[in-house]
Structures are given as structure tokens and as C-alpha cells.
Structure 1
Amino acid sequence: MFQYEIKRENEKAFVHLEGSLSLRDSPKLRTDIKSLIDTEEIKELVLDFKNLSYLDSSGVGILLHTYSWTKEKNKEVRIINLSAEVRTIFTVANLLDIFQLKEET
């Protein structure tokens, strides 16, 4: 099961992801992330993967779109608390160099 929660703090938006992100869950998350990036007062998007156990290729696609959208708007995207399982997926997909990764908030 996948779920997420969005919290805003000043110019930052935090998206806390939990469970297993797959194709079924991707469209709503994609729409919500795009809306956050399009919000003028949000300057940085922080994706918290602490409780995310898996993501498939659609999740990787969302991350690549997120990176592209934030760069278009001169904003930042960071990923924090990457689990070992998801780090393996990032390694295979060559995503480790694209995102600023932090272990703790």
C-alpha cells in the first residue's frame, strides 16, 4: 500500500512517502507534485523516502519529471532518508548523481 503526506514550511514543501510506489499510485502523486512546484511561494521540494520501501519505473519517471520541473522554475528538489532498498533502485537507474541526497532531515 502506498500513501503520502504533504507538509509546507515557509518556502519548502515536504512530501513524506510511505509504502510501495507503483504505476497505480503515480498519476495522483505526479499531479500533486507538479502543483507544488507550480506554486509560486514554494522554492524547494523535499521528498522524504524514510518509509518508502519500493518504487517502480513509474516512480522513477515521476522523479525525473520532478527534477525537470524544478529546474525549469529555478527551484530545488532534494531527497532525504533514502532506504537501502530504494538506494539500489537509484543506483541501477543512475539517479544518485542527479539528486541531492541527505540521510537525515
Structure 2
Amino acid sequence: MASYCVKSNDGYVEVIFEGEITLEESFDFKEEVKNRINDLHIYQVMVNLEGVTFMDSSGLGMLISLYKEVNEKQGKIVFFNVQDYIMKLLKLVNLDKIFLLAASRDEALSLISQA
């Protein structure tokens, strides 16, 4: 079963995804996370993908949608702790050239803090 958590911190939001992100979850997650970010009015976003055990194309679409939402608000989004197979998917569709990617939470925090 998939789940997510949104934590607001000092100046940024951290989103933690876990489990299998497929068509069933991706639409709801996308809308709920977007609404939560907009409610907080914080557009510096870190997305932890460490606990994701599977992601299909709908999950990738969710990540793209979150990326677009944050960019439209002149924010910044960093994906971190990306599993190897997800990284392969990102590279396959050239999203690794568009997304800000970090190996760790500390690196993501550093990237999100840069102006």
C-alpha cells in the first residue's frame, strides 16, 4: 500500500512517498500534495523517494505534475533518495536533465536553500 506525508519546515516543504505509486494512487496523491503545498503557500519543496518500492508511468506523471506546479509558482523542487530503478526511468525519458536530483536529504536541503 502506498502512502505519503507532507511536512512543513522553516521555509520549505518535505514530501515523503512510500510504497507502490501506480495509477490508483498517483492522481489522488498529486491533487492532495498540490493542495497541501498551495494551502501552505510554500513552494520550496523536497520530495523523498527512498521508500518507493515501485512506480509506473502514472507515478512519473505525478512527479512531472508536481514539478510543473512548483515551477509555475516560481518555486524549486528537489527529488532525493531516488531509487536506482526510478533513476533509470527518469533517464529513459530525460527527466534527469530537467529535475533537480540529490543523493541525500542534506544535499537536497542545500539545493533548496540556494537562491
TM over 0.5: yes
Secondary structure in 1 matching 2:23: coil
**Paired-residue identity, %:** 25
Q: Indicate if the aligned counterparts of 2:6 and 2:33 stay in contact, CA closer than 8 A.
A: no
Q: CA deviation at 1:58?
A: 0.9
- Aligned: 1:21 with 2:17: no
Match of 1:54 in 2: 54
Output the TM-score relative to the length of structure 2.
0.83
Q: CA deviation at 1:85?
A: 1.6
- Work out the number of aligned pairs and report it: 105
One-letter code aligned to 2:85: E
Gaps of 5+ in 1: none
Alpha-carbon distance between aligned partners in 1 of 2:14 and 2:100, rounded to the nearest angstrom? 15
Alpha-carbon distance between aligned partners in 2 of 1:43 and 1:68, rounded to the nearest angstrom? 11
Please give the root-mean-square deviation of Cα atoms over the aligned residues, in Å. Answer: 1.4
Secondary structure in 1 matching 2:97: coil
Q: CA deviation at 1:34?
A: 1.3
One-letter code aligned to 2:30: R
Structure whose residues are more often strand by fraction: 1
Match of 1:71 in 2: 71
Tell me whether 72-81 or 52-61 shows the greater mean CA deviation: 52-61
Gaps of 5+ in 2: 106-115
Output the TM-score relative to the length of structure 1.
0.90
One-letter code aligned to 1:79: F
- Aligned: 1:90 with 2:93: no
Match of 1:39 in 2: 39
